[in-house]
Structure 1
């Protein structure tokens, strides 16, 4: 009887069909000497259950809306995928964007000397496979002249000049000593990128940097592992 009443109250049937089903259930109860009030009780309980279920669904839906947060990453290749895997078991939803739109690709301008920019650079030792990672708000060629000046005047102000002076290794011109890693203005993005490259060279035991070389960072670790 319970399942018959449930079907009447929940299946998509017409009012006439529903009345016919109720009449049939009444006859079954009467023929088996049961009280027909059972139908009313079961119908009332079923309606209460449906109302409670509907309210729970609404609350769960609203809860999901408030808890879900979208985060946008600039897609630059496989490393972006590796980083976003860290967030796959969280409530953060990941979206990607790219700077390589048609306008950006077709945009042209005068060619510039890359050493006239500022940003992050790598200085290498000409006698041994070691690197010094640094950032500057000045032009790269201006900053390199400062490094060379320190070396000539026996001032070990940076890890690079310290290495050259203490070990006695050679340094050269801007072109054969400095590699440009990224060009950008100073800020949090450049700080993070600089720290990553220091981390990378430290893990390879190729660093001349005397700061930030032992800091563990799960994102840096994921990137470093993917490319080694």
Structure 2
């Protein structure tokens, strides 16, 4: 008669007798070709083979132990472990194990590429800035990009908003602001920021592509 084993279930189908184990063990599993391992109390692991497996019961008990700790596992399935007590019954013991398949984790949908945000922005406009403002703008963009990499989006958003207030005609700042909103999944504000960048730099094809994708995602016409 087949007995279905649950994890760490103790098999009391046989009597416990303090003497050498006899008989045969027939172990099957669903699915077949699962790995069978024997574990000691110290954590040592011995491979017994693959299912279906037939073996002498005496080979299960390590160091004259009164119990055998057996684990059945297979890639893609949840392993099961159970305990077999020592017995002197000279019979064949049939055990069947049914492994549950591990849940399939779906990979996240890829996000469209974000516009490249270079530190060296529109040189014709930047050339009109003082050396002090140019340094401040470059450092501000670099700091914001560093915060984005650390996923500190809210602090990055505040810093970029401050730069936009002082340099509203620099399109890369609006791209950077759109990137932050996008990573925060605030797609409506991301579109608005990218559209402002396009107003300043209509030839930026990367930003135009992102705007088109987000408009479609939000169900808006061009």
Name the TM-score class by shorter chain.
under 0.3
Q: Going by fraction, where is helix more abundant, 1 or 2?
A: 1
Q: Going by fraction, where is strand more abundant, 1 or 2?
A: 2
Radius of gyration: which is bigger? 1
TM-score normalised by L of structure 1:
0.25
